[in-house]
């Protein structure tokens, strides 16, 4: 079940410069950490000490920099985003959902330290400052898109920003529309795409008697027209792998089949990954002292359930990395970033992974299984700071 909620958003005056105040998602906002910024920029309630973040948020409310809605409502998001595969025009909904719902499916692990940081932040601000990002099945997404597109016809958005990459938000002030949206999502599963630590933190808050048992969520379709699933690659620091022969020998010893791919140049790895058959336990690897791309086919007997064992990221993290001492694996979101690290001799090896399908993500999540942290990246994410949800 989804619920309308009392929202907080920037005041009318501040909405004139939303692009300078809101931030993109935490993974890709290069300016987010450590840069100077306006005192009203949303980054200021996302970073810094817990006390500072709470004080900043309360000062915004007291000074009228943000407005609090009078009535609980749903909020519609239309987001236009340019990608190499084409332009995405997503329709989504902001809603409040119960954190203990057995219809929220999770597919990645979390760090206890990250959960505690997120918990302290929400406690200090007494609210959900950033929504979790969840997906729904393609058929539900199509029904949602059809409903939302029809509902906004002739209505002015409450919040709007961007010229090329646009975000527009409408407030649903219509009891019949609210009932229709709730009926649409009743007893339907939702899949957590981003915000694993925030959800775990909300559940820990509830255990401690903090919060109201709900969490702010942005819900979109997992169909390709709405959400792209990108891989997160791995660069590796391992003294044992300074020599490529030792690296290849360890892979073969672990049961991998290693083939030199003379038809793939390092600069063409990204396009080669697009041609990897879905479900094949294959990765490409490149050593820092070689320009020859290796195809690594993993065995699938790492004592993992079948739906996990066939995933290259699981084979890497649970089957290869786990068995080697003094190895550090760092997730990177971009092929060129990994190549730059190798060229600068900042890593010995890079593994490049193909994207997972929405069906693979849902299968793992519904089975109650967990991929390693940073296994997937879902884009575009909703900008942070457009809508917040105070607990009272």
Angle at 155 between CA 69 and CA 97, to 5 degrees: 45
Q: What share of the chain is helix, strand, coil (3-state, %, to 5)?
A: 35, 30, 40
The Cα 327–Cα 93 span in angstroms is 42
What's the CA gap between 58 and 47, in Å, rounded?
15
| Residue 62 to residue 76: CA distance in whole angstroms | 27
What domains are defined for the chain?
A: 2-228+378-390 (3.90.1530.10), 233-374 (3.30.1760.10)
Q: What string of H, E and C letters represents the secondary structure of 34-86?
A: CCCCCCCCHHHHCCCCHHHHHHHHHHHHHCCCEEECCCCEEEEEEEEEEECCE
- Residue whose structure tokens are 């002015």: 156
User: pLDDT (tens digit, 0 to 9) for every residue of the chain, 392 residues total?
Assistant: 899 999 999 999 999 999 989 987 665 544 444 555 678 988 888 877 888 889 999 999 999 999 999 999 999 999 988 766 667 789 999 999 999 888 999 999 888 998 998 999 899 999 999 999 999 999 999 999 999 999 999 999 999 998 878 999 999 999 999 999 999 999 999 999 999 999 999 999 999 999 999 999 999 999 988 888 988 999 999 999 999 999 999 999 989 999 999 999 999 999 999 899 887 889 999 999 999 999 999 987 667 787 887 889 998 988 888 878 889 999 998 999 999 999 999 999 999 999 999 999 999 999 999 998 889 999 888 889 999 999 98
With beta carbons less than 8 A apart as the criterion, state whether 2 and 219 touch. yes
Question: Quick check: helix, strand or coil at residue 119?
Answer: helix
Q: Which of 231, 233, 275 is nearest to 376 (CA)?
A: 231
* pTM for the structure as a whole: 0.89
For residue 212, CA distances in Å to 68, 77, 123 come to: 17, 24, 11
Q: Are residues 358 and 98 in contact, defined by beta-carbon separation less than 8 angstroms?
A: no
What is the C-alpha separation between 321 and 304, in angstroms, rounded? 15
**Residue 302 — φ and ψ, nearest 5°?**
-95, 30
Is residue 72 within 8 Å of 5, Cβ to Cβ?
A: yes
């Amino acid at each position: 079940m989804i619920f309308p909620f009392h929202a907080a958003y920037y005041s009318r005056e501040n909405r004139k410069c939303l692009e300078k105040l809101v931030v993109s998602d935490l993974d890709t906002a290069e300016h987010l950490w450590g840069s100077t910024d306006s005192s009203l920029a949303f980054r200021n309630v996302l970073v810094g000490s817990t006390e500072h973040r709470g004080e900043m948020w309360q000062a915004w409310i007291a000074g009228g920099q943000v407005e609090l809605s009078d009535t609980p409502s749903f909020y519609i998001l239309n987001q236009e985003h340019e990608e190499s595969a084409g332009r995405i025009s997503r329709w989504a909904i902001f809603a409040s959902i119960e954190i203990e719902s057995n219809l929220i499916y999770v597919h990645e692990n979390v760090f206890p330290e990250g959960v505690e940081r997120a918990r302290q932040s929400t406690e200090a601000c007494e609210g959900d400052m950033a929504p979790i990002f969840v997906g729904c099945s393609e058929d539900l997404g199509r029904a949602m898109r059809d409903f939302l597109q029809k509902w906004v016809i002739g209505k002015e958005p409450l919040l709007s920003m961007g010229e090329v990459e646009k975000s527009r938000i409408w407030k649903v002030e219509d009891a019949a529309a609210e009932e229709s949206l709730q009926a649409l999502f009743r007893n339907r599963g939702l899949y957590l795409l981003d915000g694993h630590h925030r959800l775990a933190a909300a559940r820990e808050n509830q255990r401690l008697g903090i919060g109201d048992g709900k969490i702010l969520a942005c819900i979109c379709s997992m169909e390709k027209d709405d959400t792209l699933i990108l891989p997160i690659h791995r660069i590796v620091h391992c003294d044992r792998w300074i020599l490529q022969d030792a690296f290849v020998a360890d892979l073969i010893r672990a049961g991998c089949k290693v083939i030199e791919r003379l038809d793939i140049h390092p600069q063409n790895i990204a396009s080669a990954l697009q041609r990897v058959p879905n479900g094949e336990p294959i990765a490409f690897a490149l050593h820092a002292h070689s320009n020859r791309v290796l195809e690594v086919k993993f065995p699938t007997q790492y004592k993992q359930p079948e739906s996990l064992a066939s995933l290259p990221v699981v084979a890497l993290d649970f089957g290869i990395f786990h068995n080697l001492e003094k190895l550090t694996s760092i997730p990177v979101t971009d092929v060129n970033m990994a190549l730059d690290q190798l060229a600068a001799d900042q890593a010995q090896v890079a593994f490049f992974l193909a994207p997972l399908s929405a069906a693979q993500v849902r299968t793992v999540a519904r089975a109650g299984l967990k991929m390693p942290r940073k296994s997937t990246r879902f884009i575009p994410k909703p900008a942070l700071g457009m809508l917040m949800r105070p607990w009272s």
